[in-house]
Amino acid sequence: MPVDVLVGLQWGDEGKGKIVDVLAPTYEAVARFQGGPNAGHTLTFDGIKHVLHQVPSGIFHPHILNIVGNGVVLDPVVFRQELQKLTDRGVDWSKNLYISKKAQLILPSHRALDRISEEARGNTKIGSTLKGIGPTYSDKIGRVGLRVGHILLPDFEQRYKEAVAQHAAIAAHNHKELEIESLEADFFSAVEFLRTLQLTDTEYLLNDLLAKGKRILAEGAQGSLLDIDFGSYPYVTSSSTIAAGACTGLGIAPRHIDKVYGITKAYCTRVGSGPFPTELHDEVGEQIRQAGREFGSTTGRPRRTGWIDLPALRYAIMLNGVTELHLMKADVLDAFTEIRACTHYRTATGESTPQLPDPGELTTVTPEYITLPGWNTDLTQITDAAQLPANLIAYLDFLERELQVPIRIVSVGPDRISTLHR
């Protein structure tokens, strides 16, 4: 049986966690393939809001295996806190949660380096969540990182000290100190907790499931426009956020991938720095922010808001090989009499293009919009796609024509039940 991949098509925060939760019952396993606690996947059901950072979003279904893949960077302290919150809410994760021994560990010194690096950038800050993600991936690529499997070795503490010494030297180069002594007791306590979990070679686990005909859903974090290679570099995350990253982040062959679910909002948001062509700096942008409760689930920062960006979506759809779209937060636009969509960019030379230019040129383009009528309907009361208002259906038809991919799911509210299948 195949692996289906779920990815965000914008700058993250598209609503991936909700869709994983909705789709999960049709799979035997949900596997997270990249990112770390900089992700915030929000799920709402039975009137309760749940925010996951490192745990796969299928965890609320006890019959589904939830796998943290080798492409993830794991903070033991945050992970323990996250699992404790699940326990407090009656979720038994002890039998269906597995962690790759090859996942990288986020150390307290990684978080310190993240802060030091961001402070040193001054007015050119990346907009890091300061969770230690970038420095951890840097150590991974530099072949000096610590893996989850290393905590099972007798010399782990010595390896830890050597890593911290390297990080202290980097900090000293910036005339800073790590100042992590107060964090280390909690870190090592969390490592002891991590040793009690199901740590394994998850690439074998996943491929054994495939050999047995089981279905796997690969869950991405962040968004395609934050991809380390293809995103708005350097204002990106430190991992491969596109569908191809599922192969290296889980240890599965490309031939196993079947469907690619692309998740997009009915508008755009972005957290942190970087180009955002359709950004709205007026009362319309604030109206979208308030209606959509657009504040980061990990950082709490207000998200930048703007109209939907079709050149960027076309690019993300191409990179991921998206087979179907899921449109999130359509209800946020309920009160608008007109909806705008950017179909092309006007470049600095006056050319109109439907393509996404190189990130260095993205700040110089002017979005070209088409205006469509709004639906002026409370979508949160709709429980069947057949009840969608005509103007929203026209909006969906327009997007399908422009993007050449069918929209199979429309989300009309945060709750699990507010998910309409077309």
Query: 302 among the known binding-site residues?
Result: yes
Residues with Cβ within 8 Å of 417's Cβ and at least 6 positions away in sequence, in order, are 45, 383
Q: Is 282 marked active-site?
A: no
Query: 8 among the known binding-site residues?
Result: no
Query: 202 among the known binding-site residues?
Result: no
Query: 129 among the known binding-site residues?
Result: yes
Q: Which tokens in the block code for residue 339?
A: 């909806």
Query: 329 among the known binding-site residues?
Result: yes
Query: 12 among the known binding-site residues?
Result: yes
Alpha carbon separation from 272 to 130, 148, 224 (Å, rounded):
11, 29, 15
Query: 303 among the known binding-site residues?
Result: yes
Query: 40 among the known binding-site residues?
Result: yes
Query: 411 among the known binding-site residues?
Result: yes
Query: 114 among the known binding-site residues?
Result: no
Q: Is 140 marked active-site?
A: yes
Query: 14 among the known binding-site residues?
Result: yes
Other Cβ atoms less than 10 A from the Cβ of 231: the count is 24
Query: 377 among the known binding-site residues?
Result: no
Query: 18 among the known binding-site residues?
Result: yes
Contacts of residues 256-259 at CB distance under 8 Å and 24 or more positions apart, as own/partner, are 256/2, 256/3, 256/210, 257/2, 257/3, 257/4, 257/5, 258/2, 258/3, 258/4, 259/2, 259/4, 259/5, 259/323, 259/324
Query: 415 among the known binding-site residues?
Result: no
Q: Which tokens in the block code for residue 62?
A: 């006890």
Query: 69 among the known binding-site residues?
Result: no
Task: State the catalytic residue, choosing from 4, 21, 41, 326.
Answer: 41
Amino acid symbol at 279 = E
Residue 323 falls in which region: left (phi positive, over 0), alpha (psi -120 to 50) or beta: alpha
CA distance 11 to 315: 13
- Establish whether the linkage from the previous residue to 406 is cis, with ω within 30° of 0: no
Sign of the C-alpha dihedral computed for residues 327, 333, 338 and 339 taken in this order: negative
Task: State the catalytic residue, choosing from 50, 102, 110, 140.
Answer: 140
419-421 vs 366-373, strand pairing mode = unpaired
Query: 121 among the known binding-site residues?
Result: no
Beta strands in 27-105 (DSSP E): 29-32, 41-45, 48-52, 65-68, 73-74, 97-100, 104-105
Q: Is 212 marked active-site?
A: no
Task: State the catalytic residue, choosing from 4, 13, 21, 114.
Answer: 13
The 8-class DSSP code of residue 415 comes to B
Alpha carbon separation from 422 to 56, 325, 327, 391 (Å, rounded):
26, 11, 11, 16
CA nearest neighbour of 106 among 197, 46, 187: 187
Query: 340 among the known binding-site residues?
Result: no
Residues with Cβ within 8 Å of 273's Cβ and at least 6 positions away in sequence, in order, are 124, 125, 126, 127, 235
Query: 281 among the known binding-site residues?
Result: no
Query: 245 among the known binding-site residues?
Result: no
Please give the annotated binding residues for IMP, written as ranges. 13-16, 38-41, 129, 143, 222, 237, 301
Please give the annotated binding residues for substrate, written as ranges. 297-303
Catalytic residue numbers, as ranges: 13, 41, 140
Please give the annotated binding residues, written as ranges. 12-18, 38-42, 129, 143, 222, 237, 297-303, 329-331, 411-413
Please give the annotated binding residues for Mg(2+), written as ranges. 13, 40
Please give the annotated binding residues for GTP, written as ranges. 12-18, 40-42, 303, 329-331, 411-413
